[in-house]
């Protein structure tokens, strides 16, 4: 699947996410939509792991640090054959279901539990360190939310990754500029984000987080950087794909009404048609 096909396909997954949220009556749809592009691209092209290699010591590792974007993760894991979409939709959020609102490592393909923010990067530092110790060439990826960066543990790990020269580690920040209470810059300012990470010794790549092409270049570039970790600032849009949700903090974890569902579904179809017309 090339970048154009992947972009078109991403609209199908947006619909899957919407259906998962509706089926479970919950979720974090705003962040699901902003994180989908880098998440899908990772699994489809850059992350070397398949349902057959989930226990291979040489597999690439991924931790969804912004664990509340779980519906997007379910859609991607289903699309890549780790899980069954119909089973996820049938049991998401239900009593006793393994399909809960955050990553749960009883499920195939999920390395570590998350949910509480600021945990993913320290864990990935440990995974990347283990790779260096064992002289394995796997890579380690995590995706964090931008609101998550207020957690001090993120910066503890940022220092450590730099100290240990973890060039096998690539962090993605889903920079949608909104968190549950409103603008990240009002809640706890993060700009100049690029300079902050650079000051911690990271290679920083800032790209359009809605563009599969731009993200693809960034992931490829990160693989070539030696001696330091890379952070990709994925400048995204919360609720991306439908004007009903886009750039609205209230859609952090809102469940669409029936009317909103129909509107969002129509918007996704239009998005897909537009992507199909791009040559």
Residue 57, interface with another protein (CB under 8 A)? yes
Q: How far apart are CA 57 and CA 61, in angstroms?
A: 10
Q: Looking at beta carbons only, is 36 or 171 nearer to another protein?
A: 171
DSSP state letter for 118: T
Residue 111, interface with another protein (CB under 8 A)? yes
**CA-to-CA dists, residue 173 to 40, 132, 238, angstroms:** 15, 24, 13
- Whether the Cβ atoms of residue 257 and residue 230 lie closer than 8 Å to each other: no
Q: Looking at beta carbons only, is 122 or 256 nearer to another protein?
A: 122
Residue 125, interface with another protein (CB under 8 A)? yes
Q: Looking at beta carbons only, is 197 or 268 nearer to another protein?
A: 197
Q: Looking at beta carbons only, is 33 or 117 nearer to another protein?
A: 117
Candidate list 26, 98, 101, 126; residue touching another protein; CB under 8 A: 126
Residue 114, interface with another protein (CB under 8 A)? yes
Least Cβ distance, residue 152 to another protein (angstroms): 7
Least Cβ distance, residue 134 to another protein (angstroms): 8
Per DSSP bridges, beta strands 61-64 and 140-145 are: parallel
Candidate list 116, 189, 191, 269; residue touching another protein; CB under 8 A: 116
**Listed ranges 25-33, 119-127, 227-235, 269-277: which one lies at the site for another protein (CB under 8 A):** 119-127
Strands (E), the chain: 61-64, 140-145, 169-175, 178-179, 182-183, 203-208, 230-235
**Listed ranges 69-77, 91-99, 124-132, 222-230: which one lies at the site for another protein (CB under 8 A):** 124-132
Q: How far apart are CA 165 and CA 87, in angstroms?
A: 41
Q: Looking at beta carbons only, is 13 or 160 nearer to another protein?
A: 160
**Listed ranges 130-138, 219-227, 230-238, 259-267: which one lies at the site for another protein (CB under 8 A):** 130-138
Terminal CA-CA length for the chain: 15
**Listed ranges 25-33, 72-80, 128-136, 246-254: which one lies at the site for another protein (CB under 8 A):** 128-136
Q: Looking at beta carbons only, is 110 or 193 nearer to another protein?
A: 110
Q: Which residues between 218 and 247 bind another protein (CB under 8 A)? A: none
DSSP per-residue string spanning 180-204: TTEEHHHHS---SHHHHHHHTT-EE
Buried b (16+ CB within 10 A) or exposed e, 266-276: ebbeebbeebe
Buried b (16+ CB within 10 A) or exposed e, 33-66: bbbbbbbbbbbbbbbebeeeeeeeeebbbbbbbb
- What is the four-CA torsion angle of 272, 273, 277, 279, rounded to 10 degrees? 20
Q: Which residues are at the interface with another protein (CB under 8 A)?
A: 57, 61, 105, 111-116, 118-119, 121-131, 133-134, 152-153, 156-157, 159-160
């Amino acid at each position: 699947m090339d970048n154009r096909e992947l972009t078109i396909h991403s609209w199908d997954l947006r619909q899957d996410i919407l259906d998962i949220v509706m089926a479970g009556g919950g979720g974090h749809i705003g962040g699901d939509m902003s994180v989908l592009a880098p998440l899908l691209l990772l699994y489809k092209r850059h992350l070397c792991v398949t349902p057959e290699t989930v226990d291979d010591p040489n597999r690439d590792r991924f931790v969804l640090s912004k664990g509340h974007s779980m519906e997007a993760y379910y859609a991607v894991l289903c699309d890549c054959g780790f899980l069954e979409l119909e089973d996820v939709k049938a049991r998401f959020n239900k009593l006793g279901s393994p399909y809960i609102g955050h990553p749960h490592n009883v499920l195939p393909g999920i390395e570590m539990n998350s949910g509480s923010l600021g945990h993913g990067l320290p864990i990935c530092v440990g995974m990347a360190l283990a790779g260096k110790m064992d002289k394995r060439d796997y890579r380690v990826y995590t995706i964090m939310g931008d609101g998550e960066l207020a957690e001090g543990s993120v910066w503890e790990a940022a220092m450590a990754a730099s100290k240990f020269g973890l060039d096998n580690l690539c962090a993605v920040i889903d920079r949608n500029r909104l968190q549950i209470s409103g603008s990240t810059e009002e809640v706890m300012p993060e700009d100049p984000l690029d300079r902050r990470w650079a000051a911690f010794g990271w290679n920083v790549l800032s790209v359009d987080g809605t563009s599969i092409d731009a993200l693809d270049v960034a992931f490829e570039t990160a693989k070539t950087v030696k001696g330091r970790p890379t952070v990709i600032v994925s400048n995204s849009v919360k609720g991306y794909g439908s004007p009903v949700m886009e750039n609205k903090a209230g859609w952090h974890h809102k469940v669409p009404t029936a009317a909103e569902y129909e509107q969002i579904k129509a918007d996704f179809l239009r998005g897909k048609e537009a992507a199909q017309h791009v040559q």
